[in-house]
């Protein structure tokens, strides 16, 4: 356990940031999975929905990178795999 007052404050800050990061990561994982599933099961009727999900996924990933929740390479890999799935589905 921390002894100094500033160390105790730092522990509280770290915990708050850990919970925020956990929520961001969980949201990204959920949207990513929904996006991939929608792309795989897409037909001409669901095209707008897929585009919306892809846009939302890209937006959330970029936001997480900006806030330091995800490393930039991790975010780029996730966006790349979404783009790859889109490309394969369009063939």
Domains within the chain, CATH numbers bracketed: 5-90 (1.20.58.110)
- DSSP, collapsed to helix, strand or coil, labels residue 4 as coil
Q: What is the pLDDT of residue 54?
A: 94
Tokens 């919970």 belong to 19
pLDDT tens for the chain, residues 1 to 91: 788 999 999 999 999 999 999 999 999 999 999 999 999 887 767 888 899 999 999 999 999 999 999 999 999 999 999 999 999 988 7
Q: What is the pLDDT of residue 45?
A: 74
- In terms of phi and psi (left: phi > 0; alpha: psi -120 to 50; beta: otherwise), the region of 90 is alpha
């Amino acid at each position: 356990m921390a002894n100094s007052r500033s160390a105790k404050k730092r522990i509280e800050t770290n915990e708050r940031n850990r919970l925020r990061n956990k929520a961001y990561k969980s949201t990204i994982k959920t949207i990513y999975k929904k996006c991939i599933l929608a792309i795989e099961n897409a037909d001409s009727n669901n095209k707008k929905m897929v585009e919306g999900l892809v846009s939302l996924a890209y937006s959330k990933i970029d936001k997480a990178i900006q806030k330091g929740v995800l490393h930039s390479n991790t975010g780029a890999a996730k966006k790349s795999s979404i783009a790859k799935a889109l490309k394969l589905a369009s063939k």
